[in-house]
Amino acid sequence: MEMTEMKEDHRTFSIALTFCIMFIFWVLLSAWTVYLPEPYDLSKVSRGILAALIVTFLTYEIFVPGKGEKVLLKTRRFIPYVGWELWQIYLATVDVAKRVFGILEVDPQIIEFDTTLRSDFALVTFANSITLTPGTITIDVEPERGRYIVHAIAKGPAESLTVDQTMQKKVGYVFMEE
Amino acid sequence: MLAIDVISTIFLAAGSLIMITGTVGLLKFPDFYTRMHATGKCDTLGQILIIMGCMIYEGFTFITIKLLLVSAFYLLAGPASTHALMKAAYVTGLPVWKKGDKRM
């Protein structure tokens, strides 16, 4: 009995939270410049409420994660990771530009390696990070074993994934799956 | 407003230069996989710089938020589409260029 009540509570909370975020999003994107400077009109705002409601009922189950997932801690660890990732994007572009103009060699190879990551969000983040960092692109992921197939443009970038493993450790730290 | 014009022009020019580098790589690299390296990586930084140039030119308004969201969406969608193309090529068995092979 208590379990179902708790589930019901969580469901109401998810719907309310998703609706608030979606409505704020709508206000930021369209209402602020178009509707709010004009005189207040319920029919205009109601369009936003309707749109937010539709999106809420389609997505609240995946938008708000279950209890006990330490969302706040993960978010706090994720923000410095995004900063590091932007720096890596800059390095990746410089690296490709050097190979385009012939300063560094092009010697492609396909590598496979296993990681400790298992959850969907961690796998996707790591796959996108591989593509954004210098010289490597994800080809395929096997979620059961955390196995990645990666195309590396030269030996150096391939070794940074298989030998150094800086990025695995960082993603594992963010999602607590070391 | 001259300073803002100059700064935003510098950002737009840098972004365009990086996009051009990516295009040169697309034409120069030897096979499909390496070409995806050139386009997939240069586009990401190129669009960040171009959108930053637009944001600086526009000043701080609500359009800035929209531009920021466009940029953030590209950071998620760009690698995903690159990965989809790479996987499609790999699954259909496109051969991988090795050093010393003929250009494909």
Binary contact (B62, A33; C-beta < 8 A): yes
Q: Which residue of B has its CA nearest to A135?
A: B37
CA–CA separation, A133 and A123 (whole Å): 15
Task: Write the DSSP symbol of residue B97.
Answer: P
Point out the residue among A32, A106, A110 whose CB comes nearest to the CB of B96: A110
CA–CA separation, A52 and A54 (whole Å): 6
Q: Which residue of A has its CA nearest to B30?
A: A106
Comparing CA positions, the residue from A108, A88, A90 lying closest to residue A158 is: A108
Binary contact (B62, A32; C-beta < 8 A): yes
Q: Tell me the backbone φ, ψ of residue B51, rounded to 5 degrees.
A: -70, -35
Q: Which two tokens stand for residue B41?
A: 């990586």
> Using alpha carbons only, how large is chain B's radius of gyration in Å?
17
Packed helices B32-58 and B2-28: angle between N→C axes, nearest 10 degrees = 170
Check if B67 contacts A (Cβ < 8 Å): no
CA–CA separation, A75 and A81 (whole Å): 10
Torsion-angle region of residue A6: left (phi > 0), alpha (psi -120 to 50) or beta? alpha
Mean pLDDT of A79-104: 88
Q: What proportion of chain A, given as a percentage, has pLDDT over 70?
A: 87
Whether A108 has a pLDDT exceeding 90, the answer reads: no
E strands, A23-134, are: 109-114
The pLDDT of residue B11: 94
Q: Which amino acid is at A111?
A: I
Measured at the alpha carbon of residue A146, what is the angle toward residues A144 and A147, in degrees to the nearest 5? 105
**What ipTM was estimated for this complex?**
0.85
Q: Which amino acid is at B83?
A: H
Lowest mean pLDDT among A31-40, A114-123, B34-43: A31-40
Identify the bridge partners of residue A142 per DSSP, sorted by sequence position.
A147
Whether A105 has a pLDDT exceeding 90, the answer reads: no
Residues A30 and A51: beta-carbon distance below 8 Å: no
Binary contact (B87, A110; C-beta < 8 A): no
Per-residue pLDDT tens digits for B16-52: 999 999 999 899 888 888 888 888 888 889 999 999 9
* Sign of the alpha-carbon torsion through A102, B39, A159, B31: negative
Spell out the domain ranges in chain A. 2-63, 71-175
The pTM of the full predicted model, rounded to 2 decimals, is: 0.81
The pLDDT of residue B9: 94
Q: In B, which residues are within 8 Å of A151 by CB distance?
A: 33, 37, 86, 90, 96
CA–CA separation, A25 and A36 (whole Å): 14
Point out the residue among A32, A97, A127 whose CB comes nearest to the CB of B83: A127
Torsion-angle region of residue A135: left (phi > 0), alpha (psi -120 to 50) or beta? left
Check if A91 contacts B (Cβ < 8 Å): no
Binary contact (B31, A108; C-beta < 8 A): yes
Identify the bridge partners of residue A114 per DSSP, sorted by sequence position.
A147
Q: Which two tokens stand for residue A71?
A: 């969302």
Binary contact (B65, A92; C-beta < 8 A): no
Per-residue pLDDT tens digits for B48-87: 999 999 999 888 777 888 888 899 898 888 888 888 998 8
3-state secondary structure of A147: strand
Per-residue pLDDT tens digits for A71-84: 788 888 888 988 99
Q: In B, which residues are within 8 Å of A106 by CB distance?
A: 29-30, 34, 99
Q: Which residue of B has its CA nearest to A130?
A: B79
Q: Tell me the backbone φ, ψ of residue A74, rounded to 5 degrees.
A: -65, -40
